[in-house]
Structure 1
Amino acid sequence: MKTNIYKIHNVKYCHLLFMALFMAVSCSDDYLELEPQTNLNEKSFFKTPTQIEQAVNGAYVPLRNLTNLEYWVFAEMRSDNTTFQFYQADRGLENRGLVDYFLTDASHDLSMGGLWNGSYDGIARCNAVLENIDKIEGLTASKKNQFIGEVKFLRAFYYYNLVLQFGGVPLELSTTQDPGEANSDGRASKDAIYESVIADLMDAENLLPKTYGDIDRGRATSGAAKTLLAKVYMIQKKYTEALTVLKGITGYSLVTGSDESYKDVFNPNNKGNTEIIFAVQYLGSEEGQGSNFMYQFAPNNSGNIVTGDPQMLNLNSGSGWNTPTQDMIRAYEEGDLRKDISMQEGFVDNDGNFVNQPYVSKYNFGFDLSGSTSVNFPTFRYADVLLMMAECLNEQAYVANGEAFDLVNQIRERAGLEDLTVVDAGNQEAFRNAVFHERRIELAFENHRWYDLIRSGNAVEVMNAHGEEEQTLRADIIPAGAYNVSENKLLLPIPQRAVTLDGLEQNPQ
């Protein structure tokens, strides 16, 4: 998909030549699944309520693109959850593998540059809406509040991912009108980024509605803003504040009722289910608007056996990514109903032989167009909220068999597992570990694991242990120096282009 905002020095954008790239709304139930329809000058574009709505819709586009690739590369493959299937015939996507190995450096713009540029693209779109919305005549107060709330949520989300991956980054809260002012003011501190994110989310939770009608399904809600706000508070160890916010997230519930309930959460025929708080929307029947997780995560030697797509007889370097590790496979308890829904340990080839090649199956629900599916990505779910509440309660005070146990056991019961008791978690530390374990399984392959490792303070220890096992299992392909994880390597290096052109200080590696 084309993006035509002219970026200056990788950080700010020249809005003297702003290109609208915003999406028109149709009668589709999934309003976010539409491509930009027109390119206009900013001065002539922001005139009508319809145009500002298109601009708001356009602020979601980078989120959709980032979720289709960069977010899982840096939040799952960089963790102990997943690795990748080596493909000797084509090393064109080697940069992704270097992320897994902790061997990225500032020159690898194909990996980190996509995350950096896509995030600032989204931020610039949000800023453009906020700077122009007061000019719109005929916009109702309720719609104006909603649109402001949406882009403030999105801007906060883009910054949330940036600060957790890069640390302090340039804080851009306005558009650039003069190319001479394109350089940023340098990297803001992490505290300053969090302060801005919290301010945006507090505004968003007050401005956004709790729900929408079907035609607006997929827009950010007050529940989405509250969920992200709670996550930021928990990163800062502000558990009392986080718990207060979490208790205000109402109107959602776990999908239950059968052994397939967990699967039903992700089914594209069940997009409006009660558990989804916020999901990135895709429409596989429209060219360029679908998701392709099923294809990227399928083993590259599985032909069309895993995808069922007759036009995809030969997969290649674009597949075999985000592969469950052996440690991830062992993490599932016997009888856990989530395992066979979330992942498979291999596939049966055309000769009837089992091929031992694990892959993520959570997003496998068939395709619409070849290579394109309508499977949404579940960014925030109510199960996540329950587990965060349990964690906050435990951090305030451990209570044997108290409310925190009840919250975790709602999750375990749906998974077909026995309740967590004081026998399993007899003190605060044991319960804390149990919650992080439950999060790993329940939210597997949904881009939470890396952030949970960072928040737990265990990332270095866990990832070095993971690296030792990977080097034992795959010593023939893993390069020297891989998985040598230190505190410095918990932050990605700033893309070299941004360092050079914008004069940014580099993260030590």
Structure 2
Amino acid sequence: MKIKYILIPVLAGLLAGGCKKSFLDLNPETSINGSTFYKTETEIQQAVNGAYSILQPLANESYWIFGEMRSDNTWFQYNTADRGREQWEFVDEFLVPATAECISNFWKNSYIGISRSNDVLDNIPNVTGWTDAARDQYKGEAEFLRAFHYFNLVRQFGGVPLRLTSTQSPDAALSKGRATVDEVYAAIIADLKDAADKLPASYSGTNVGRATKGAASTLLAKVYMTQKNFTDALTALRKVQGLGYSLLPNYADIFDPNKKNGAESIFEIQYLGSQTGLYSTFMYIFAPYTSGSYVTGDSKTSIHGSGSGWNIPTQDMIDSYEAGDKRKDISMGTGYKDADSNFVAIPYVKKYNHGFTDVGRTNDNFPVMRYADVMLMIAECLNEQAFAAGGEAFTLLNDVRARAGLGPKTGVTSQDAFRDAIFQERKVELAFESHRWYDLVRSGKAVEVMNAHGVKQKALSTLIPANGYQITPNKLLLPIPQTDVNLDNLTQNPQ
């Protein structure tokens, strides 16, 4: 068992080799002996790289399903001929069962990431002869990644099993049950505080894209804001503010694969479109399944089955943009033209549509945290402490709006009104980046907004089940995967 758990982080797909373009792309090991692994800095580095790799399948499926499509921003194009992804529809309709594969994938892959981080953290003390800076960096990266997974889990499932050491034997494979939400948050905060102290502010060369001090501090601020601790959140955000990030002048450049990890990027999930197993597929998943190659431009990849037609912008999302907002055309298309140049009014996410590097493969990264998000969070924290008309919070909000080609926000004369303005700006600025669901929940408006959204969606389609979009507070948490409930004796979330 010890050998098994040691090999998992290294052999899970990140050691696919060849062209060294980044820390994602490594030469493979021809053989690895579990009893001698984790003895050198290089081996720790390989394990850390392996801990990053699980982010790719999570972003290709779980993050947008549960962070975006579960919200009022997007839904799905109903495919009457191919029902192979019906459970993804159930997520949108708040009907997803505990046996759903997408639930299991989210849980399983998150815990794989946690396990890989634990392996790194438990074995760092075994390595000697390296610099304190290297040791701190790898420890900080593993702590950041572990905290990132737990933050996603606790927001979606509530209290979850808290595994903070690597599994050494079959007897230790079972958890101690679900930790409380407070216990999970305490572990997340401890990891992120230490990571923020240990991680470098930036990287160069092939290490660009790793977690930084700014990433740890930004994630820590998000944790505090979820707990409504705006004072500590603002302290963390002020640290990020001093690290040299800035808004890019052109909104489209944030998502351009040729301009990855720019001045606005704080953390994004890295993909290499040229490498087997390391490419992204967002463009294909988000294209209408009826669009053939008209949206993707890839005539050799068929768009017709249940693998496409997801994360389709809702009419609410389309209507959220003000007239003249440059972000709208960059973020989404309102439809496409068919072979006869007829316009087909099925909207789609365009933010990750930059062509393909090879058939079925794209090179788009997935943004997780960026500086515009930080600016809006600072504005929110300042407003929660005290509303100040025309103060710094307004300046930050209006700077984000100015880049979008919009004028300053006017007519906002109270704390409540400014709070609404911030959340509205977050909806359009961060659209399709998997923030919306979490913003709805932490604002306390998820039940109200999603029930109203459901009424509109049902009016558009007679194919939605009658009990769909019946959102209660219990529905704000996903069901624990039934397999884990059974095998690990976990208490199920009431639905």
TM range (shorter): over 0.9
1:45 to 37, 40, 50: 37
Residue 159, structure 1, aligned to residue 159, structure 2: no
Residue 472, structure 1, aligned to residue 459, structure 2: yes
- Counterpart of 1:254 in structure 2: which amino acid? L
Residue 15, structure 1, aligned to residue 8, structure 2: no
Query: What does residue 81 of structure 1 align with?
Result: 73
Question: Contact conserved, 1:18 with 1:41, CA < 8 A, in 2?
Answer: no
Question: Contact conserved, 1:29 with 1:216, CA < 8 A, in 2?
Answer: no
Shift of 1:178: 1.6
1:107 to 99, 115, 125: 99
With over 3 angstroms needed to count, the CA separation of the structure-2 counterparts of 1:313 and 1:387, relative to structure 1, is same
Query: What does residue 193 of structure 1 align with?
Result: 184
- Counterpart of 2:98 in structure 1: which amino acid? A
2:272 to 279, 283, 290: 283
Query: What does residue 397 of structure 1 align with?
Result: 386
Question: Contact conserved, 2:284 with 2:303, CA < 8 A, in 1?
Answer: no
Counterpart-to-counterpart distance in 2, 1:80 and 1:38 = 48
SS at match of 1:303: coil
Shift of 1:139: 2.3
Residue 414, structure 1, aligned to residue 403, structure 2: yes
Query: What does residue 253 of structure 1 align with?
Result: 246
Residue 136, structure 1, aligned to residue 123, structure 2: no
Counterpart-to-counterpart distance in 1, 2:6 and 2:24 = 27
**1:133-165 C-alpha deviation (Å, 9 max, x unpaired):** 111233221111000000000000000000000
Query: What does residue 488 of structure 1 align with?
Result: 474
Query: What does residue 505 of structure 1 align with?
Result: 491
Residue 340, structure 1, aligned to residue 329, structure 2: yes
With over 3 angstroms needed to count, the CA separation of the structure-2 counterparts of 1:66 and 1:18, relative to structure 1, is closer
- Counterpart of 1:434 in structure 2: which amino acid? A
1:381 to 362, 370, 382: 370
Shift of 1:205: 0.3
1:67 to 36, 42, 59: 59
- Counterpart of 1:426 in structure 2: which amino acid? T
Report the aligned-residue RMSD: 1.7
Query: What does residue 338 of structure 2 align with?
Result: 349
Q: List runs of 5+ in structure 2 lacking aligned partners.
A: none
- Counterpart of 2:85 in structure 1: which amino acid? L
How many positions carry a matched residue from both structures? 491
Counterpart-to-counterpart distance in 2, 1:419 and 1:170 = 46
Shift of 1:396: 0.1
Shift of 1:480: 1.9
**1:420-439 C-alpha deviation (Å, 9 max, x unpaired):** 12x1x110000000000000
Query: What does residue 232 of structure 2 align with?
Result: 241
TM superposition score normalised by structure 1: 0.94
Counterpart-to-counterpart distance in 2, 1:455 and 1:58 = 32
TM superposition score normalised by structure 2: 0.96
Query: What does residue 218 of structure 1 align with?
Result: 209
Counterpart-to-counterpart distance in 2, 1:429 and 1:36 = 55
**1:397-438 C-alpha deviation (Å, 9 max, x unpaired):** 0001111000000100000011012x1x11000000000000
SS at match of 1:311: coil
Counterpart-to-counterpart distance in 2, 1:480 and 1:37 = 54
**1:278-318 C-alpha deviation (Å, 9 max, x unpaired):** 11000001111100000000111111111111212443210
| Percent of residue pairs identical | 56
Question: Contact conserved, 1:35 with 1:289, CA < 8 A, in 2?
Answer: no
Q: List runs of 5+ in structure 1 lacking aligned partners.
A: 7-12
Shift of 1:36: 6.3
With over 3 angstroms needed to count, the CA separation of the structure-2 counterparts of 1:362 and 1:456, relative to structure 1, is same
Query: What does residue 181 of structure 1 align with?
Result: 172
Counterpart-to-counterpart distance in 2, 1:76 and 1:479 = 21
